[in-house]
Amino acid sequence: MSSQVDELTSQLARTTVETSKELSFEGRGLKLNTADDAKEIIEAIEKCDKMTSLQLGGNTLGVKAAEAIGVALSKHSEFQRARWSDMFTGRLKSEIPEALKFLGSGIMKAHAQLVELDLSDNAFGPNGMVGLVELLKSESCYSLKELRLNNNGLGVTGGKMLAESLLECHKRSSAAGTPLSLRVFVSGRGRLENVGATALSEAFKAIGTLEEVAMPQNGIIHEGISALADALAVNKQLRVLNLSDNTFTQKGAQAIAKALPHLQNLEVINFSDCLMKTEGVSAIADALDEGHANLKELILSGNEITKSGISAITGCLENKTHLQKLDLNENMLGEEGVELVQAAMEAIDKLDALTSLSDDEGSDEDDEDEDGEHNDDEEAEDDEEGDVVDDPELQVRGEAIGTPRKEVTAKDFLSFPSPSKLLQLGKHRVTAIKEELGNDVTDVEKVVETVIRISAVVTKDDEKTKHAACECADGLFQEIFKVPENIAIATNALLVQMGIIKGEDKKFKPISDVTGPLLVLEHAVQQSYFPQTAREILLAFVNKPHPRWESAGNVRCKLLETLIQF
């Protein structure tokens, strides 16, 4: 026994515990044009004995700086996580692929084995993919587990290039005996459309190990959704599936429903704003009725579901013991339907999982024919013909294919703001909001409060809503900034509304998340109407640390960079 203890002690003495380290320069707002500009980063990389992760988000990287950083990376074979979101702000399209090539070259020279590659929030389009192709095909990506390309605007061409690269990586890695086992794939707001989605579905089918797929807002209609459904069915370990803000219609929903029985490990399903309507959602619910014991979240908001679909939805959740969230907001349940779904969830002891239904868009009874059935055949015919209205103002969850909508007024929106309501105000939203304010824009604080209220519905991943909110901000700001005396009042009101400084009203509660207002302000401060004095005041406050900035992350950095430029 004593000899065994001695041997164990000896083994422990010979054992060294390797430590890993992430170097982070996140959110510094660094402008890295040359090797000298990147000296701090390069020296940190060179001094780090075991650098497994490098965070460069919230800075802006040029070609020469990328080349120098790539050389430093080439000495770190242990490198695993490239966390490089939001690092090409203000760069030319020609710079980005070259910079990416230099960074990738360093990784490949080091023979590093990447686990994570995050290039989200870099709007480099298909041009940026040119700089990634060789890295994605290389041995350094045989080990890749997480690929995050959210908000890159890849387009159809970029999507096809990405799919081809992943397929080639899988082919090469399989031949080497270490097949690519990607677990996380994120590419929201990528403009992939049907062609890009179909190409990626071939890669997903070959890989077969995906656990999380997020592809929201990509302009994918039922053909592309069907291709994805077929591929996802092969990935039986899938836990998170987010295909929100694409256009399933009933056909796409049925294709997804066919795949769902193969995906018994699903925990989160987000099919919001997918125009599935009652019939499509019912097909999804039927597929979830048995099994799917791990389901925690089911998000079906904004699908024009009527009260006739409630029983199918709530019925499929009765045996889901882990359910934490059911989102049916922004549908067409009507008052009776809202009460019915609440009662149904209470009956199965899951009322706590039901999110707010405050933005329900009312009963759909007027859209039913004499037999009480929806005219989905006509919708399907329109969809097959591919008739899409060119006016983006109409392309809000179904207007593009002629679906009647409940008219939304400026009063409706300002009473209970939501992205869908803002978009439904249409082309004349600025005029409507001004009229709701009584065309009296002399009350500066009221106007600023309205701008913040509008901005609050904006998120980083929703360009349509941001565009509409910026349009409103322009219309309102232009009015108040015509008067020089309003500048100080308006700027002070902005800071109060965001909770950066305290106002006179002690009971006032500022907006909970400043991300939307900062995104809109980043647009507004670049406009000719925005006073330089106001920019300078905002710069002084945005540049200082404040707890309110923490929720905004890189959005605050972008605003700060923009303010510095003026």
Report helix, strand or coil for 22.
Answer: strand
Q: Kindly tell me if the per-residue pLDDT of 164 is higher than 90.
A: yes
165-181 pLDDT, tens digit each = 999 999 999 999 999 99
Classify each residue of 485-524 as buried b or exposed e, where b means 16 or more C-beta atoms within 10 Å of its C-beta.
Answer: ebbeebbbbbbbbbbbeeeeeeeeebbeebbbbbbbbbbb
Residue 73 · residue 110 · CB < 8 Å: yes
List, as one string, the DSSP characters of 500-562: SS--S-TT----S--HHHHHHHHHHTTSTTS-HHHHHHHHHHHTS--GGGTTTTHHHHHHHHH
Average pLDDT over residues 347-371: 75
pLDDT digits (tens, 9 = 90+) for 508-545: 778 878 899 999 999 999 998 999 989 988 988 888 88
More confident residue, 13 or 254: 254
Beta strand ranges found along 303-376 (DSSP E): 325-327
Is the pLDDT confidence value at 402 over 70? no
Residues whose CB falls within 8 Å of the CB of residue 90, separated by 6 or more in sequence, listed in order: 60, 561
pLDDT tens figures, 274-299: 999 999 999 999 999 989 999 999 99
Question: 132 pLDDT band (50/70/90 cuts)?
Answer: very high
Q: Which of 130-144, 387-401, 421-435 has the lowest mean pLDDT?
A: 387-401
**Of 251-255, 377-381, 438-442, the least confident:** 377-381
pLDDT value for 361: 84
Question: Which pLDDT belongs to residue 508?
Answer: 79
Q: What percent of the chain has pLDDT over 90?
A: 62
Instruction: For 82, list phi and psi in degrees, rounded to 5.
Output: -100, 100
Give 20's pLDDT tier (boundaries 50, 70, 90): low
Residue 485: predicted pLDDT? 84
Residue 486 pLDDT > 50: yes
Amino acid type, 152: N
* Burial (CB count <10 Å: 0-12, 13-18, 19+), residue 180: buried
Percent of the chain with pLDDT over 70: 88
Q: What is the DSSP letter of 382?
A: H
CB atoms within 10 A of CB 264: 15
Per-residue model confidence (pLDDT) at position 412: 84
CA distance 440 to 425: 20
Q: What is the SS3 assignment for 200? A: helix
Q: What is the pLDDT of residue 505?
A: 75
Nearest-angstrom CA–CA distance, 355 and 342 = 10
Residue 420: its pLDDT value, please? 81
Say which residue, 119 or 380, is predicted with more confidence.
119
Q: What is the mean pLDDT of residues 341-352?
A: 93
Is residue 133 within 8 A of residue 171, CB to CB? The reply is no
The mean of the pLDDT values for the chain is: 87
CA dihedral 499, 500, 502, 504 (to 10 degrees): -70
> Would you say 230 and 206 are in contact if contact means Cβ atoms under 8 Å apart?
no
Residue 27 has pLDDT above 70, yes or no: yes
Beta bridge partners of 242: 214, 270
Decide which of 362 and 395 is more confident: 362
pLDDT at 487 over 80: yes
Give yes or no for a contact between 162 and 200, defined as CB atoms under 8 angstroms apart: yes
In the prediction, which pLDDT does 374 show? 41
What is the per-residue pLDDT across 76-122, written as a single tens digit (0 to 9) for each? 999 999 999 999 988 888 999 999 999 999 999 999 999 999 999 98
pLDDT of residue 274: 95
**Across 274-283, 438-447, 471-480, least confident range:** 438-447
Q: How confident is the model over 21-49, as a mean pLDDT?
A: 94
Mean pLDDT within 402-409 = 58
257-261, 376-380, 416-420, 522-526, range with greatest mean pLDDT: 257-261
Among 32-46, 229-243, 352-366, 418-432, which is the least confidently predicted range?
352-366
pLDDT at residue 16 greater than cutoff 60: no
Q: Mean pLDDT highest for which of 152-156, 177-181, 454-458?
A: 177-181
pLDDT in tens, 298-316: 999 999 999 999 999 999 9
Angle at 468 between CA 418 and CA 334, to 5 degrees: 30
- For 504, residues 6+ apart whose C-beta sits below 8 A from its C-beta are none
β-pairing, 21-24 vs 51-55, is: parallel
pTM: 0.65
Go through the domains of the chain in sequence order and give each one's CATH number: 17-81+90-112 (no CATH), 407-565 (1.25.40.200)
What is the structure's pLDDT at 238? 98
Q: What's the pLDDT at 439?
A: 64
384 compared with 418, residue with greater pLDDT: 418
- At 440 the pLDDT is 63
